[in-house]
């Protein structure tokens, strides 16, 4: 079986080529990981490798919807000093937060994960060409980081996905 192919994220765009390049690399990793065996290691995480991937895709497809819709939330959550740290340092510490219920993986099949990845790739191809990508308008609230604009959500997708890819690497080591 070969990875799912889809031409997404031309990194020669005027907007955020660095983030989109990193996200493209992450999508390529997800393509390959989906083809591997599902591995569980409860010493590293209560979620298996497939559940990690499912969580990444649930979160990122939801984020893409925020970015595409561009609607200001009815109430914008405020940001704290600590909410800026992951964006400044580029990582999320492990074991610090619990995933909201709407992005907790249910344990879907490999084929369902592939379909979710195709949806995510399609969304990415649409958001990379948005003319108002650089707008400072908040388009969604993060449960821990407060109201984020489109560029902050894109950066968060990169940081969050990398966080879970590292967990997957550690699960596979044992």
DSSP-derived secondary structure for 131-149: TTTT---EEEEETTTEEEE
Mean pLDDT of all residues in 52-60 = 98
- Whole-prediction pTM value? 0.87
Look at residue 13 in the predicted model and tell me its pLDDT.
41
For residue 74, give the DSSP letter: S
Mean pLDDT of all residues in 72-97 = 88
- Tokens 């393509």 belong to residue: 31
Q: Which domains does the chain have, with CATH numbers?
A: 17-173 (1.20.120)
Among candidates 96, 101, 23, which has minimal Cα distance to 9?
A: 23
Look at residue 3 in the predicted model and tell me its pLDDT.
38
Question: Does position 89 have pLDDT exceeding 90, yes or no?
Answer: yes
For residue 104, give the DSSP letter: S
Look at residue 16 in the predicted model and tell me its pLDDT.
63
Mean pLDDT of all residues in 63-76 = 89
Provide the residue count of the chain.
174
Question: Does position 41 have pLDDT exceeding 60, yes or no?
Answer: yes
Burial class of 77 by CB neighbour count within 10 A (0 to 12, 13 to 18, 19+) = middle
Q: Provide the mean pLDDT of the chain.
A: 88
Is the distance from CB of 102 to CB of 58 less than 8 angstroms? Answer: yes
**Residue 119 CB coordination number (10 Å):** 14
Q: How confident is the model at residue 7 (pLDDT cuts 50, 70, 90)?
A: very low
């Amino acid at each position: 079986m070969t990875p799912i192919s889809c031409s997404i994220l031309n990194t020669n765009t005027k907007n955020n080529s660095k983030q989109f390049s990193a996200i493209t690399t992450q999508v390529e990793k997800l393509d390959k990981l989906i083809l591997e065996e599902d591995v569980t290691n409860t010493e590293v995480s209560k979620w298996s490798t497939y559940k990690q991937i499912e969580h990444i895709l649930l979160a990122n497809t939801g984020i893409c919807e925020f970015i595409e819709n561009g609607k200001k939330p009815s109430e914008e959550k405020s940001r704290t000093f600590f909410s800026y740290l992951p964006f400044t340092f580029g990582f999320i510490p492990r074991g610090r937060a619990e995933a909201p219920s709407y992005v907790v993986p249910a344990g879907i099949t490999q084929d369902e994960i592939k379909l979710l990845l195709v949806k995510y790739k399609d969304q990415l191809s649409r958001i990379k060409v948005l003319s108002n990508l650089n707008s400072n308008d908040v388009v969604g609230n993060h449960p821990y980081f407060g109201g984020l604009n489109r560029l902050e959500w894109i950066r968060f997708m990169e940081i969050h996905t990398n966080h879970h890819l590292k967990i997957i690497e550690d699960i596979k080591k044992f």
